[in-house]
């Protein structure tokens, strides 16, 4: 039985505007689920083992709603390019290398170790079109203890010849083969349908993926309204679509019966935002890659005010850092630019809001995850910020704010996912 208690300085979100901080509090875990946070440990839990993390900060495990596993080796390169050029010069040639299991073994081995070391406990991940390499990645993630959704990527047009799939039929056959190989194989690692984006998927492929979604009941991830040139290409390829999201919706791949997360959403129109809300589509805000690839600033305040479900993504390698703390910091920063330069009526994100997006906001795509409220799956990260705090004595909320903005001034003491500790 996985029953225990951890003690320390606890920070978590009750909602987007309410940050809870408790000095020297207790969190009770039973069978991988939180029983709640307590200032004093109730007698009912008095017999459980307690790990005391002293003055450490305990936060929910962070959630990365959008990252590209095969792009890990070249993060930090090509940051002077826009999206489509960056894909052709850097991303597509790198991803083509994963036809080699030997290359995948090395790259994904380093990647998973990096993911284990960081503060994120959950990820939505793009792999490549290669079935053996995608299964290899999923095997490694399963052993890591992290909780992930991983997608074999589908793309049958507008890519490098050594990465593009032969045709829609072959892409769908490979996808079915991959899904069948996943059945009964994993506990913490699950498949997610992954059309790369509309420019790389024919109508035939999208229609087939829609049928697979209904057949297997899978969630969906892709990209949406990221870059102006990408959107121009989408309009040429899909002239019948009213907007980008409609190009997915025509095939049943835009929420509704298919739990869906769309990355970026920088240029989503009001009609698209309305469809996202109606269909409960999640937006994965990736502020670092929006900056690096010059795509623009996603209107996150408008999404929140409209009732859109929003989380954060690293978008490695469009983003250079896996830590969702970095994404929180960047989200706050770009929201200030949006407020100052784009729309003065859409106020910037607060620290509490950014923290919520990186924990419970994105965690909702996985279910009840990202908080210590009773009934939530027990994901936690214990952080030591004593190098600075011991000198200046900040409040807990101030210490959390410093952790968000100051990568390198703290380190991780412990990390749990679904109640099990993850070894570094």
- Going by pLDDT thresholds of 50, 70 and 90, the confidence category of residue 408 is confident
Is residue 97 over pLDDT 80?
yes
Model pLDDT, residue 409: 81
Q: State mean pLDDT over 30-54.
A: 97
Per-residue pLDDT tens digits for 347-364: 999 999 999 999 999 999
Q: State mean pLDDT over 394-406.
A: 94
Q: How many residues does the chain have?
A: 424
Q: What residues does each domain of the chain span?
A: 3-60+371-421, 62-366
Model pLDDT, residue 81: 92
Q: Which CATH class is domain 62-366?
A: alpha beta
- Going by pLDDT thresholds of 50, 70 and 90, the confidence category of residue 1 is low
Model pLDDT, residue 126: 98
Taking the whole predicted model, whether its pTM rises above 0.95 is answered as yes
Model pLDDT, residue 2: 84
Give the rounded distance of the alpha carbon of 389 from its chain centre.
Answer: 29
Per-residue pLDDT tens digits for 249-298: 999 999 998 999 999 999 999 999 999 999 999 999 999 999 999 999 99
Is residue 387 over pLDDT 80?
no
Give the rounded distance of the alpha carbon of 234 from its chain centre.
Answer: 24
The proportion of the chain whose per-residue pLDDT surpasses 70, expressed as a percent, equals 99
- Going by pLDDT thresholds of 50, 70 and 90, the confidence category of residue 424 is low
The C-alpha angle with vertex 324 and arms to 150 and 352, in degrees rounded to 5, equals 130
Model pLDDT, residue 137: 98
Is residue 110 over pLDDT 70?
yes
For 162, counting Cβ atoms within 10 Å of its Cβ (0-12 exposed, 13-18 middle, 19+ buried), the class is exposed
3-60+371-421 under CATH 2.30.40.10, yes or no: yes
Q: State mean pLDDT over 400-413.
A: 91
- Going by pLDDT thresholds of 50, 70 and 90, the confidence category of residue 422 is very high
Whole-number mean pLDDT of the chain? 95
What long-range pairs does 321-324 form, CB within 8 A, spacing at least 24?
A: 321/288, 321/407, 322/64, 322/67, 322/114, 322/115, 322/118, 322/120, 323/62, 323/118, 323/119, 323/120, 323/407, 324/62, 324/63, 324/64, 324/119, 324/120, 324/358, 324/362
Is residue 160 over pLDDT 90?
no
Model pLDDT, residue 186: 97
């Amino acid at each position: 039985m996985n029953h225990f208690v951890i003690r320390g300085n606890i920070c978590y979100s009750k909602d987007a505007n309410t940050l809870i901080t408790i000095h020297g509090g207790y969190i009770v875990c039973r069978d991988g689920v939180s029983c709640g946070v307590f200032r004093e440990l109730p007698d009912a839990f008095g017999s459980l083992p307690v790990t005391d993390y002293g003055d450490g900060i305990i936060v929910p495990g962070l959630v990365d709603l959008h990252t590209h596993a095969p792009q890990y080796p070249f993060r930090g390169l090509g940051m002077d390019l826009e999206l489509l050029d960056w894909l052709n010069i850097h991303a597509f040639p790198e991803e083509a290398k994963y036809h080699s299991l030997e290359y995948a073994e090395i790259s994904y081995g380093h990647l998973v170790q990096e993911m284990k070391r960081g503060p994120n406990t959950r990820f939505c991940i793009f792999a490549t079109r290669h079935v053996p390499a995608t299964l290899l990645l999923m095997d490694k993630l399963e052993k890591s203890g992290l909780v992930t959704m991983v997608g074999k990527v589908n793309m049958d047009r507008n890519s490098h010849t050594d990465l593009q799939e032969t045709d829609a039929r072959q892409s769908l056959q490979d996808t079915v083969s991959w899904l069948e190989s996943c059945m009964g194989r994993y506990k913490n690692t699950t498949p997610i349908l992954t059309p790369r984006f509309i420019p790389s998927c024919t109508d035939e492929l999208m229609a087939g993926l829609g049928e697979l979604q209904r057949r297997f009941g899978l969630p969906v991830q892709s990209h949406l309204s990221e870059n102006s040139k990408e959107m121009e290409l989408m309009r040429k390829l899909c002239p019948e679509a009213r907007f980008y999201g409609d190009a997915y919706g025509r095939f049943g791949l835009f929420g509704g019966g298919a739990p869906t997360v769309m990355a970026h959403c920088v240029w989503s129109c009001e009609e698209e935002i309305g469809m996202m809300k109606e269909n409960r589509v999640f937006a994965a805000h990736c502020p670092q890659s929006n900056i690096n690839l010059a795509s623009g600033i996603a209107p996150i305040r408008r999404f929140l005010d409209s009732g859109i479900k929003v989380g954060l993504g690293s978008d490695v390698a469009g983003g250079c850092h896996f830590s969702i703390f970095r994404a929180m910091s960047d989200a706050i920063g770009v929201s200030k630019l949006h407020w100052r330069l784009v729309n003065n009526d859409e106020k910037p994100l607060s620290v509490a809001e950014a923290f919520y997006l990186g924990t419970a906001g994105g965690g909702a795509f996985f279910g009840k995850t990202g908080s210590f409220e009773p009934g939530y799956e027990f994901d936690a990260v214990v952080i030591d910020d004593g190098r600075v705090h011991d000198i200046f004595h900040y409040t807990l909320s101030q210490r959390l704010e410093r952790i968000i903005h100051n990568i390198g001034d703290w380190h991780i003491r412990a990390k749990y996912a679904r109640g099990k500790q993850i070894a570094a």
